[in-house]
Structure 1
Amino acid sequence: MPAIHLSYTSKINKPGDSPVLTVSQIWAGLQRKVRFAQEFVPVIESCTVLEEREDGTVVRDVKFKEGAGPKPKARETVREYYPSWVDFEQEDGTHIRNVVSDGPSGELEDLHMTYMFEFDLPHAKGSEEQEKETKRLKGMAKMAVEKSIDTIREMVKDGRIKP
């Protein structure tokens, strides 16, 4: 079964960004993303929480917009590891991790967000098809990181995430 591994990293607080996001605001945004993924990732049409366990684990179904996601829908088991990452594991073995990390300075202006993906794509057989799918998914990864950061910043501005 073909597997595609990729990641994308972006600086969270770029020069001129306002407000400058704190770790607690970023974490609050990632927690909201667990339950309302469609607010953060444009290729997701809907997100339905099926179960919230005592240990904080969430089981959810996400539905992707037609032709935009790696597949039409996915059931995910989501675990949070404050303050560093959120782990999304799908039933088919696909694995996604949203990571918040410090840069060399350790300052807020040097925070980074990385999304790491391990897609198991049985339909992407052969090097040409797999290469095409990898390129498409790289674009999706970049968009997902950038849109998530932008959405968290907007939620801080409009009060959905507290300063």
Structure 2
Amino acid sequence: MVILYQSQTLPINSPSASPTLSIDEVWEVMLLKCRKPELFVAPMSSSAVIEETPTFMKRSVTFKEGMGPPGGEVIEELQIRAPWKVDFYNLNSGAFINNTVSQGKDETDLYLTFYFEWPYPDMQEGSKEAKEMSDKLWSMAKKTVQHTIDYARDMAKEAKLGKGLEH
């Protein structure tokens, strides 16, 4: 059994980024990501919210053919801590993902971190297969964090934020 760990942090408002995003705008996009993960994670094709409260969500996620687990569908429970973090628990595989927004020196100095724990029960620790999968997941993590930031910025440019898009 191998558990592969990944973590990626990127600045949300780099010096060249325009427009500058607020925590409220970023959080709106994070809630959209909870409800519509297929807009943010390439292997996912669809999702449905099963249950929801202000601090909890249960959802089903369907993956594109050959890109997800056997059967192509998983159930996830999300712990939501507005406006800073969401913890995702995959009830099928035991995978854990955390998305955290952090603030630096001021209210526009924001960072987005995605942390992953991926269990692989049939993989051997230190194997070539584990190394290749770790590299693949690392690449996916970086792309997903950047895509989420880019998506948020594009929505801001199109004046789509602040209109309740997360529902």
TM-score (norm 1): 0.89
Where in structure 2 are the equivalents of 1:44-59 lying within 5 Å? 44-52=44-52, 54-59=53-58
1:117 aligns with 2:105: no
Q: In structure 1, what is the Cα distance between the partners aligned to 2:17 and 2:134?
A: 30
Aligned partner of 1:61 in structure 2 is 60
Matches within 5 A, 1:86-97: 86-91=86-91, 92-97=93-98
For structure 1, the 5+ residue unaligned runs are none
Residue by residue, what CA displacement relative to the aligned partner does 1:99-158 show, whole Å, maximum 9, x if unpaired?
00123x2341x2110000011112333511111100000001001100011111112222
Q: Which of 7-16 and 61-70 deviates more? A: 61-70
- How far did 1:27 drift? 0.5
Length, aligned pairs only: 160
Q: Decide which moves more: 2-11 or 153-162.
A: 153-162
1:14-163 to 2 correspondence within 5 Å?
14-52=14-52, 54-69=53-68, 72-91=72-91, 92-103=93-104, 105-108=105-108, 110-126=109-125, 127-162=127-162
Aligned equivalents of 1:14, 1:68: Cα separation in 2: 32
What RMSD over aligned residues (CA atoms) do the two structures have, in Å? Answer: 1.9
Aligned-partner Cα distance in 2 for 1:11–1:69:
29
Mapped to 1, the partners of 2:161 and 2:21 lie a distance apart of 11
Paired with 2:153 and 2:14, the residues of 1 have a C-alpha distance of 12
Indicate the percent of aligned positions where both proteins have the same amino acid.
35
Is contact 1:70-1:137 (8 Å) kept? no
The whole-number CA distance in structure 2 between the counterparts of 1:65 and 1:9 is: 26
* Cα shift at 1:55: 4.8
Q: Which amino acid aligns with 2:95?
A: T
With structure 2 as the length reference, what TM-score do the two structures score?
0.87
Secondary structure of the structure 2 residue equivalent to 1:26: helix
Equivalent position amino acid for 2:22 in 1: T
1:40-92 CA-partner distances (Å, limit 9, x unpaired): 2222211111222x453111111223444577432110111112111101112
Which runs of no fewer than 5 residues in structure 2 stay unpaired? Answer: none
Change (3 A) 1:69 1:13: farther
The whole-number CA distance in structure 1 between the counterparts of 2:110 and 2:37 is 22
